[in-house]
Amino acid sequence: MAPLPPDDSLYTNAYLGIFVGFIVFVSTIAVVFLLLFYGGSFQRMKHEAVGMPESMDQEKPLLYDDLLNKAAIYPLKPATVSLDGYIVKLRPLHSPDKAATQRMIRRLHEISTGKALGGYYGTKDYDADALIWRYMTSGPYTSVKEFEKHRATELDNQRHFVVMDAASDVPIGMVSLINHSPKDLRVEIGATWYVPAAQGSGANRETVYLLLRHLFETLNYRRVEWRCDGFNVRSRKAAHSLGFTLEGVMRKHMIAKGSNRDTVVLAALNGEWLGIKDMLEGKIQASLKKSKSD
């Protein structure tokens, strides 16, 4: 009796089963990958790896002596300094001339209340809460005394600066060095506000550039921080555009104006400064060219 011819359908079904099994396997791997990716697992692993040793016996390198010497001699209060740029110039709020300081405090309060003052500030009233104070820990302020208490009083580890328009020499806002930790060569740029007429003008960009250049190049600081309310989208975008790197969010960090505040923490490091400097100088020059063409 002759042997039966092979049944091709058996081979077909076998190959089909293998193919379907392969598709199921690949699909499962893809689904797991997507769940890990969109679930943030990869990002968390990357974030948690920052600062970890490459091996359990890895030792930290010592910092060079010049850096350690500066960390040992800088005072707790940031040093007073005047900085000049093309768009803005920074002047310490407090000076030996107490009367001049009080006049400046009154003027800063006046320009931050939303009133139309003419000239640089414009001829229309504005919503001071929405455009300046909403995501600050306090403000707007109904009196000079209240403004001075919250915005002009310096703690031992703070230094307040007035941001002046370089062309007209009028005050347009404030910026501060706060949470100063000289032993770590670390400080935060914060408590920043500008009148609406200065917002989007390049004033903040040059203000931060001048401070970073001074801190990194003159004083050899290692770290400059930027913190803001998690809801303050404008501040977060500004920090990213200025070269600061997001490091994390301190959840339920404080209670501000009767609401929860999650605080976003960003930072720029001395090793990143040259790249940040080139980027900011390019943007500042572009702003100057645009203002001249306008």
User: What is the Cα–Cα distance from 294 to 271, expressed in whole angstroms?
Assistant: 37
Q: Which pair of structure tokens corresponds to residue 263?
A: 């605080």
Answer yes or no: is 283 within a domain. yes
Answer yes or no: is 46 within a domain. no
Q: How many domains is the chain partitioned into structurally?
A: 1
Residue 276 CA, chain-centre distance (Å), reads 13
Query: Would you place residue 11 in the very low, low, confident or very high pLDDT band (cuts 50, 70, 90)?
Result: low
pLDDT digits (tens, 9 = 90+) for 161-204: 999 999 999 999 999 999 999 999 999 999 999 999 999 999 99
Query: Would you place residue 242 in the very low, low, confident or very high pLDDT band (cuts 50, 70, 90)?
Result: very high
Answer yes or no: is 129 within a domain. yes
User: What is the Cα–Cα distance from 79 to 183, expressed in whole angstroms?
Assistant: 14
Answer yes or no: is 54 within a domain. no
pLDDT digits (tens, 9 = 90+) for 192-240: 999 999 999 999 999 999 999 999 999 999 999 999 999 999 999 999 9
- Please tell me whether residue 71 adopts helix, strand or coil conformation: helix
Answer yes or no: is 146 within a domain. yes
Within the chain, what is the greatest distance between any pair of CA atoms? 122
Q: Tokens 């990213």 — which residue?
A: 240
Query: CA 286 → CA 236, 240, 281, distances in Å?
Result: 22, 18, 9
User: What is the Cα–Cα distance from 278 to 84, expressed in whole angstroms?
Assistant: 18
pLDDT digits (tens, 9 = 90+) for 257-270: 999 999 999 999 99
The secondary structure of 35-69 as a DSSP string is: HHHHTTHHHHHHHHHTT--SSTT--PPPPPHHHHH
Answer yes or no: is 22 within a domain. no
What pLDDT, on a 0 to 100 scale, did the predictor assign at position 16?
Answer: 76
CATH code of 109's domain: 3.40.630.30
H or E stretch at 191: strand 186-194
Answer with the residue of higher pLDDT: 286 or 14.
286
Answer yes or no: is 63 within a domain. no
Which residue, 218, 204, 228, 208, is CA-closest to 268?
208
Q: Which pair of structure tokens corresponds to residue 203?
A: 């004033």
Partnered with residue 248 across adjacent β-strands are 265
- Residue 137: domain span: 73-293
Partnered with residue 55 across adjacent β-strands are none
Q: What is the mean pLDDT of residues 110-123?
A: 98
Answer yes or no: is 203 within a domain. yes
Does residue 60 surpass a pLDDT of 70? yes
